[in-house]
Amino acid sequence: MTIRKIPALDLGVIAPSAVELSATALARWDETIQAADESDNVISIMGAIGEDIWGEGITAKRIGAQLRALDRDVIVNINSPGGNMFEGLAIYNLFRQHPYFVEINVIGVAASAASVVAMAGDEVRIAKAGFIMIHNATLPDAGNRHDKREIADKLEQFDTAMAGLYADRTGLTRAKIAAMMDEETFLTGEEAVAQKFADALLPGDAVKHGPKAEMTPLRRIDAALAKGERMPRAERRALFQEITAKPRAGDEIDTPGAVETAVDDGTAGISLALARLKLMRA
């Protein structure tokens, strides 16, 4: 199949929105998975789709810049738990519009928005131990009933666009795809090939494990919250102690001596850490 036969997606009807990462996708995502061999025409999508609160992530702007520098065939390696669906759809369109052959390799997980990106390949290959996950778009629960009705309408637009894309790629009916999305379906490598989400399996030596990236205390807390993990009390206290021991320039602390006493009184340490997390999110 060629991406030239798959329609572009009209993003004009879809409002940009940060979509909540799936806890199950995060749980299955192994960030140490890497491609064993990377040539100079490779684009790597290793991480969340869209800019995160730390100013990092895979964005359409970044992918567009890389594609403009590659006036030839490209290989796209994906290991991502998903992220911002609007960015995923925009990246899908960028790959679809590339005038040369696009080979996409799912070397780990291509979940949610990342699974949309994967559908843009002229050829899609997946590791036998890899996964493609499709589901309905989700947002953090917020707002009154009027807000939620508006949000539901927007999410329905995302889901309709995704279902049409998956159906065009696989040949499955939209009703079948919608049911799979409702269930938050994980497809193994073999299942993805059987149901035509991918064209072939990657050879076993195409994937390797690299070192685990170091995470700051705030990132570890944020990741644990996103995954719904129960972080042991001792680990929480150690992380908060590390945070409060190194105040950042420009942080305002109203209570004198809060840095020195935060960990000892428990709640003050948590409050201070959360305040700093809010500053970093702003």
The CATH number linked to 21 is 3.90.226.10
Is 143 found in the same domain as 25?
A: yes
Residues 248 and 122 in one domain: no
Residues 91 and 231 placed together within one structural domain of the fold: no
For residues 197 and 224, membership in a common domain is answered with no
- pLDDT score, position 257: 39
Q: State residue 192's pLDDT score.
A: 98
> Which residues, 6+ apart, have CB-to-CB distance to 20 below 8 Å?
138, 139, 140
200 and 222 share one domain: no
Q: Could you give the count of Cα atoms lying within 13 Å of 134 in the half-sphere of its Cβ?
A: 28
Note the pLDDT of residue 11.
Answer: 64
Residue ending a domain, choose from 209, 240, 269 = 209
Q: Is 203 exposed, middle or buried, given 0-12, 13-18 or 19+ CB atoms closer than 10 A? A: exposed
30 lies in the same domain as 58: yes
Identify the pLDDT of residue 281: 43
Token pair 């996708």: residue: 25
243 & 163 share domain: no
What is residue 222's predicted lDDT score, i.e. its pLDDT? 61
In this predicted structure, what is the pLDDT of residue 153? 78
Residues 6+ apart with CB under 8 A from 31: 46, 47, 79, 212, 213
144-179 in b/e form (b: 16+ CB < 10 A) is: eeeeeeebeebbeebbebbbebbbbbbebeeeebbe
pLDDT of residue 143: 60
Q: Closest Cα partner for 15 from 182, 137, 143?
A: 137
Asked whether residue 236 falls in the same domain as residue 170, the answer is: no
Nearest residue to 85 via CA among 27, 139, 151: 139
Whether 231 and 130 share a structural domain: no
* Contact present, 108 and 33 (Cβ < 8 Å): yes
pLDDT, mean of each 10-residue run, the chain (282 residues): 62 57 82 81 92 78 94 95 90 94 96 95 95 86 67 81 92 96 96 97 81 61 60 64 58 41 44 49 42
Say what the pTM is. 0.72
Distance CA(118)–CA(95), nearest Å, equals: 9
Give the residue from 160, 193, 209 where a domain finishes. Answer: 209
Q: Which of 174, 209, 244 is the last residue of a domain?
A: 209
| pLDDT at residue number 142 | 56
pLDDT value of residue 161? 85
User: Do residue 8 and residue 129 come from a single domain?
Assistant: yes
Domain that residue 51 falls in: 3-209
* Amino acid occupying residue 77: N
- State which H helix or E strand residue 268 sits in: helix 267-281
- Which pLDDT score is estimated for 209? 75
Number of domains in the chain: 2
Residues 110, 241: one domain? no
| 224 and 176 part of one domain | no
